[in-house]
Amino acid sequence: MLIGYARISKADGSQVLDLQHDALKKAGVSSKHVYQDTASGKADDRAGLAACLRSLRKGDVLVVWKLDRLGRSLRHLVNTVHDLADRGVGFKVITGQGAEIDTTTAAGKLVFGIFASLAEFERELIRERTTAGLASARSRGRVGGRKHALSKSKVRRAQAAIGKPETVVSDLCDELGVTRSTLYRYVGPDGELRPQGEQVISLG
């Protein structure tokens, strides 16, 4: 059975579903078997799509007008179609980018395989950028991308000063530009390093 899914992004009348419904009907999808949403493609709570995916059974084919009607992103699209394949459900795109995708045919599976490879490539690029970004942040005194309130030299200054009888903690805080509670996250009242301070000192 052919099951259709249609989506538009706006509910203000500037977009209509007629074009998609006509295309789905021309592709052989009965109007009784078309699910639809009026929501952004990035929305997680698309009730029509959720109902559509639940309705699909082994041997069915999910048909969409264009590729971007289904997925929030390339990764989401690939994961969704892989899930369908595991359930024995096909996927077909009528027009636009990806119109060659029809996982019920060998050629269509090949095209979708290229899309899946691109999604994996995208994941690797994001992973590499994240790793490089974190390494760069750590080299600048950050952990997890968040800048420390005290630099290594300020932590050392706090260690040296905080345990001395003549040190007024409020004056030291003013000098370092932090609050008392922030200071004590880095250095204890006797000058001992606390976890935040140990992180800063361990940075290269």
Dihedral sign for Cα atoms in the order 65, 70, 73, 78:
negative
Give the pLDDT score at 6: 92
CA distance 74 to 120: 9
**pLDDT score of 57:** 93
Nearest-angstrom CA–CA distance, 53 and 30: 17
Residues 62/3, Cβ–Cβ less than 8 Å: yes
What pTM did the predictor assign?
Answer: 0.54
Catalytic, 139? Answer: no
Query: Rounded to an integer, what distance in angstroms lies between the CA atom of residue 115 and that of residue 117?
Result: 5
For position 103, what pLDDT does the model report? 83
Contact 188, 161 (CB under 8 A): no
Give burial (CB, 10 Å; 0-12/13-18/19+) of 121.
exposed
pLDDT at residue 10 in the model: 66
Length of the chain: 204
pLDDT (0 to 100) of residue 150: 87
Reduced DSSP (H G I as helix, E B as strand, rest coil) percent helix, strand, coil of the chain, to 5: 50, 15, 35
Q: Report the pLDDT value the prediction gives residue 75, as an integer from 0 to 100.
A: 73
Q: In CATH, which of 3.90.550.10, 3.40.50.1390, 3.40.1360.10, 1.50.10.20 is domain 2-122?
A: 3.40.50.1390
CA distance linking residue 61 with residue 87, whole number of Å: 11
Per-domain boundaries in the chain: 2-122, 148-202
Give the active site residue among 9, 55, 170, 202.
9
- The per-residue pLDDT string of the chain (204 residues; one tens digit each, 9 = 90 and over) reads 999 999 887 655 556 788 899 999 999 999 999 999 887 766 667 888 889 999 999 999 999 998 888 876 777 777 888 888 888 898 888 888 767 788 888 877 777 777 666 656 566 666 666 676 666 666 665 555 567 788 888 988 888 888 787 888 888 888 888 888 889 888 988 888 888 888 888 775
